[in-house]
Amino acid sequence: MVLSRIKCLAAFSGFFQPKKLFDFCIKVVTKTMGKQGSSPGESLPMDKNQQPVILRPNCALTTSNLDVFWRSLHGAINDEFSREILVDLQQVEFIDSAAAVVLSQGTKLAESHGKRLGCCGINSQVRMVLELTQMEQFVRIFKDEAAFLTQTSQLLAA
């Protein structure tokens, strides 16, 4: 079963303008074998078999909203049950250099916890920023979610 929940973390990020409060939401999708649903304020049920955790930012990732993205990424990495984290950037039109650094730091943090972090759905502008900042060498990039899942299953089979 796949559960979806919109996790609006802007309230914790220091945004005080009402419009900005909803500008940055991250959709977290998890596969779970547990409870059938969850109510607002309740954490998603987790199971050791659930893989991967998918973060789907839906706006440009820039210095102004990176704290929200970092908290979501950091939370997924530090979760004891997640082993693979995928950042789906399909709805992200632009990232700045600070966001590129956050993606590389996230990869390094995941590896230090024995986990794997990848990105998919990258458009040409996002790829260009990763290349210009030379962060593409630190961030695992996949064509799409299916490519990430295929490599994950191959690694688990080995």
Q: What is the pLDDT, as a whole number, of residue 158? A: 55
**pLDDT of 73 over the 80 cut:** yes
pTM above 0.75, yes or no: no
The tally of domains found in the chain comes to: 1
Q: What residue numbers bound the domain in which 94 lies?
A: 2-157
Q: Closest Cα to residue 28, out of 61, 5, 1?
A: 5
Q: What is the pLDDT, as a whole number, of residue 155? A: 61
Instruction: Give the CATH number for residue 117.
Output: 3.30.750.24
Q: What is the pLDDT, as a whole number, of residue 95? A: 96
Q: Inter-axis angle of helices 124-132 and 97-112, to 10 degrees?
A: 80
Q: What is the pLDDT, as a whole number, of residue 38? A: 33
Q: Cα–Cα–Cα angle for 50, 108, 94, nearest 5°?
A: 85
For the stretch 99-155, pLDDT in tens is 999 999 999 999 999 999 999 999 999 999 999 999 999 999 999 999 998 886 666
**pLDDT of 13 over the 50 cut:** no
For the stretch 20-45, pLDDT in tens is 333 334 444 433 333 333 333 333 33
Residues 27, 60 contacting (CB under 8 angstroms): no
Collapsing DSSP to helix, strand or coil, 59 comes out as coil
The amino acid at residue 25 is C
Q: What is the pLDDT, as a whole number, of residue 29? A: 41
Q: What is the pLDDT, as a whole number, of residue 154? A: 65
- The sign one gets for the Cα dihedral 43, 44, 49, 52 is negative
